[in-house]
């Protein structure tokens, strides 16, 4: 297959590039590097089956040659990023999604939208199944992201109905792993960086809010299974093991061997109180289940963040200085 990945230079997108290249596919990564980094794909820039195009997908674009599938991952994803890039987030969820869908329709290609557990907002139903419609504040600080993704889902369904797009949707729950930006503000990257730097771990609120954290390799297997299917979904992709933010802080302290203290800070407005996916539908229809337990996933992530290790952010930072072949 020749697969176009919008947001291919981001955290998840770059791992998807790797997984597809490993199995023999051709990959075209499109990215404007607004929140991603060229370093994420520097190791494949000379790969004969890899191409990087620097482009903002909110502008109309075409990709020359065959396109068999489009994975639409482009969007700011961390709360500080989408607060800062509020208009860009709305644009990429709406215009960007439509441009990616148009590309897929023009090439009769499979289309997969990277949606999010945020479509459930602060969920009134727990755990979350795909038939729950959610509880989103349409004018709150998270709305630029949540509503952009909800619109993107509606657009995907409409393109499937009206334009016969072979389109599907995955709803991704909190995912972590190597290549997260140490300063992206998300909880796993922030806690690991703080623990390694000997700083207190910043807990928002009392830390009793929950999330369910999925290791990146598991998540990517789910996206690949979705690319290979012709199903609409939506499918929850996430790890059903749920923990409080406070418990996560303990796990990170164990994984890093750090004795950092805890610092309690105000809870952001509309921060969801709990989140856990039901993944039975993905298990049944895609044959997908998460496999990597959180202690193992954190160990691998810490190894990447720790200075001096082979696969470290140190090497990523060195790679960042390298020119990018596009």
Of 211, 276, 281, 313, the one binding ligand UDP (CB under 6 A) is: 211
Site for ligand NAD in 145-184 (CB under 6 A): 172, 174-175
Q: Is residue 304 within 8 Å of residue 312, measured between CB atoms?
A: yes
Selection from ligand UDP, ligand NAD, none that 290 binds (CB < 5 to 8 A by kind) is none
Q: Is 256 in the site for ligand UDP (CB under 6 A)?
A: no
Of 74, 167, 187, 219, the one binding ligand UDP (CB under 6 A) is: 187
What DSSP line would sit under 264-305, residue for residue? EEPPPTT--S---B--HHHHHHH-------HHHHHHHHHHHH
- Nearer Cβ to ligand NAD (243/264): 243
Answer yes or no: 145 catalytic. yes
Question: For residue 287, is it left (φ>0), alpha (ψ between -120 and 50) or beta?
Answer: left
- Nearer Cβ to ligand UDP (11/111): 11
Whether the bond between 82 and the residue before it is cis, its omega within 30 degrees of 0, is no
Q: Is residue 152 within 8 Å of residue 77, measured between CB atoms?
A: no
CA distances from 248 to 68, 208, 231, 290 (A): 40, 10, 34, 18
User: Which of 50-58, 98-106, 136-144, 296-304 is the region at the interface with ligand NAD (rule: CB under 6 A)?
Assistant: 50-58
Of 35, 58, 115, 174, the one binding ligand UDP (CB under 6 A) is: 174
DSSP state for residue 320 in the 8-state scheme? H
Q: Is 12 in the site for ligand NAD (CB under 6 A)?
A: yes
CA dist., res. 185 & res. 311, Å (int): 21
Instruction: Give the residue from 6, 4, 35, 16 showing the smallest Cα distance to 180.
Output: 35
Q: Which residue is catalytic, options 82, 120, 145, 215? A: 145
Q: Is 56 in the site for ligand NAD (CB under 6 A)?
A: yes
Selection from ligand NAD, ligand UDP, none that 190 binds (CB < 5 to 8 A by kind) is ligand UDP
Q: Is 190 in the site for ligand UDP (CB under 6 A)?
A: yes
321 burial level (CB within 10 Å; 0-12, 13-18, 19+): exposed
Q: Which helix (H) or strand (E) holds 285?
A: helix 280-286
Q: How many chain residues interact with ligand NAD (CB under 6 A)?
A: 29
Tokens found for residue 45: 């820039």
Residues with Cβ within 8 Å of residue 197, at least 6 apart in sequence? none
User: Which of 83-91, 198-206, 284-292, 300-308 is the region at the interface with ligand UDP (rule: CB under 6 A)?
Assistant: 198-206
User: Which of 24-32, 121-129, 133-141, 247-255 is the region at the interface with ligand NAD (rule: CB under 6 A)?
Assistant: 24-32
User: Which of 31-39, 63-71, 295-303, 317-325 is the region at the interface with ligand NAD (rule: CB under 6 A)?
Assistant: 31-39
- Nearer Cβ to ligand NAD (73/278): 73
Torsion of CA 312, 79, 53, 40, to 10 degrees: 0
Selection from ligand UDP, ligand NAD, none that 204 binds (CB < 5 to 8 A by kind) is ligand UDP
What DSSP line would sit under 99-132, residue for residue? HHHHHHHHTT-EEEEEEEGGGGBS-SSSSB-TT-
Q: Which residues are catalytic?
A: 145
Binding site for ligand UDP (CB under 6 A): 79, 174, 186-187, 190, 202-204, 209, 211, 245, 268, 271
Binding site for ligand NAD (CB under 6 A): 6-7, 9-13, 30-36, 56-58, 73-77, 92, 96, 114, 116, 172, 174-175
């Amino acid at each position: 297959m020749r697969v176009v990945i919008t947001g291919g230079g981001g955290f998840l997108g770059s791992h998807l590039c790797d997984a597809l290249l490993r199995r023999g596919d051709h990959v075209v990564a499109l990215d404007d590097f607004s929140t991603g980094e060229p370093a994420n794909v520097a190791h494949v820039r000379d790969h004969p089956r890899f191409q990087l195009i620097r482009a903002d997908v909110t502008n109309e674009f075409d990709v020359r040659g065959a396109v068999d599938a489009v994975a639409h991952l482009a969007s700011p994803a961390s709360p500080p990023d989408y607060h800062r890039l509020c208009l860009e987030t709305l644009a990429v969820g709406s215009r960007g999604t439509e441009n990616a869908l148009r590309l897929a329709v023009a090439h009769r290609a499979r289309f997969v939208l990277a949606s999010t557990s945020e479509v459930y907002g602060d969920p009134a139903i727990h755990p979350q199944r795909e038939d729950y419609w959610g509880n989103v504040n349409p004018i709150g600080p998270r709305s630029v992201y949540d509503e952009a993704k909800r619109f993107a889902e509606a657009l995907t369904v409409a393109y499937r109905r009206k334009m016969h797009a072979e389109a599907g949707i995955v709803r991704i729950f909190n995912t972590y792993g190597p290549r997260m930006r140490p300063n992206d503000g998300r909880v796993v990257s922030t806690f690991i960086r703080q623990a390694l730097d000997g700083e207190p771990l910043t807990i928002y609120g009392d830390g009793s809010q929950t999330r369910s954290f999925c290791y990146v390799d598991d998540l990517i297997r789910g996206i690949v299974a979705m690319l290979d299917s012709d199903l609409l979904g939506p499918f929850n992709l996430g790890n059903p093991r749920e923990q409080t933010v406070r418990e996560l802080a303990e796990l990170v302290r164990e994984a890093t061997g750090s004795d950092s203290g805890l610092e309690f800070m105000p809870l952001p407005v509309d921060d969801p109180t709990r989140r856990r996916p039901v993944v039975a539908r993905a298990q049944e229809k895609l044959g997908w289940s998460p496999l990597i337990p959180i202690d193992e996933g954190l160990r691998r992530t810490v190894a990447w963040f720790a200075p001096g290790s082979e696969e470290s952010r140190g090497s990523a930072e060195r790679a960042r200085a390298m020119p990018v072949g596009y």
